[in-house]
């Protein structure tokens, strides 16, 4: 799974790295965070088809790449309240097409969640201890480029707010996970699905509607990753700062 990660680059740096044309004010104002947890605000990037209406003539304005701020934990449009999102911070790649919460977003609402690295806890058996000891590791791209987690997003209409209320719509997202590989299985049996720059283009393409083709992208080779042990200070969501990613 992916339950904690770090994102400390400036919004414009991420926009430059992923060719983003428009950064919303909310996404631009997010401060660096070395210990992002479920239900926190997270930056996502989407490709959206736009139309420009000028002098009553509707013209296709093409596809625009945008960066938005979303809540971590997908809230389906049909949910009664947003609390369900806390149980949907991750989506297993193997069952995306089967789950009602993810089936439609897989076809029409794919995104990437941008990050600099993430944390995973390795369980170690210690003689005499009743429970395994969990050791945190920081995992990041070997070339230190920003990460593109494959994700899905959703807009949820708050039934307690009027149709003209700008706060009526909640944007939320989930990070897709896959079986761990390339040595990461020594830390945990699953890992967040990370896309290469080439695969980001295909994943975000709004003309791609076939769920099978979309899922095939998730099985393609991922960027090389490196990892090292970090302080157990990251175990608490109350702790935050660059010291959390320093090797011990």
Residue 19, Ramachandran bin (φ over 0: left; ψ between -120 and 50: alpha; else beta): left
- Give the C-alpha separation, 121 to 107, whole Å: 32
SS3 (DSSP) at 7: strand
- Give the C-alpha separation, 152 to 5, whole Å: 17
**Among candidates 6, 72, 35, which has minimal Cα distance to 233?**
35
Q: Which residues belong to the active site?
A: 2, 120
Query: b/e map of 6-45 (b: 16 or more CB within 10 Å)?
Result: bbbbebeebbeebebeebeeebeebeebbbbebebbbbbb
- Give the C-alpha separation, 72 to 34, whole Å: 15
Q: Is 82 exposed, middle or buried (0-12, 13-18, 19+ CB in 10 A)?
A: middle
- Give the C-alpha separation, 85 to 26, whole Å: 20
The tokens describing 71, both together, are 């809540």
Q: Which residue has the tokens 């919004």?
A: 11
């Amino acid at each position: 799974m992916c339950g904690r990660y770090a994102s400390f680059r400036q919004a414009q740096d991420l926009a430059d790295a992923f060719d983003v044309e428009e950064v919303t004010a909310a996404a631009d104002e997010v401060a660096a965070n070395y210990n992002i947890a479920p239900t926190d605000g997270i930056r996502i990037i989407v490709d959206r088809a736009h139309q420009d209406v000028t002098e009553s003539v509707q013209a296709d304005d093409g596809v625009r790449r945008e960066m938005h701020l979303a809540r971590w934990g997908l809230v389906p449009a049909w949910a009664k309240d947003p609390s369900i999102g806390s149980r949907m911070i991750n989506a297993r790649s193997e069952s995306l097409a089967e789950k009602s919460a993810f089936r439609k977003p897989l076809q029409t609402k794919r995104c990437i969640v941008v990050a600099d690295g993430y944390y995973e806890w390795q369980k170690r058996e210690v003689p005499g201890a009743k429970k395994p000891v969990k050791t945190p590791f920081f995992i990041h791209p070997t070339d230190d480029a920003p990460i593109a987690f494959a994700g899905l997003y959703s807009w949820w209409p708050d039934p307690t707010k009027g149709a003209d209320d700008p706060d009526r719509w909640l944007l939320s997202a989930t990070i897709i996970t896959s079986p761990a590989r390339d040595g990461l299985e020594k830390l945990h049996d699953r890992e967040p699905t990370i896309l290469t720059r080439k695969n980001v283009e295909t994943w975000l393409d709004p003309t791609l509607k076939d769920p099978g083709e979309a899922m095939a992208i998730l099985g393609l080779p991922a960027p090389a990753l490196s990892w090292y042990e970090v302080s157990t200070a990251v175990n608490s969501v109350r702790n935050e700062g660059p010291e959390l990613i320093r090797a011990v």
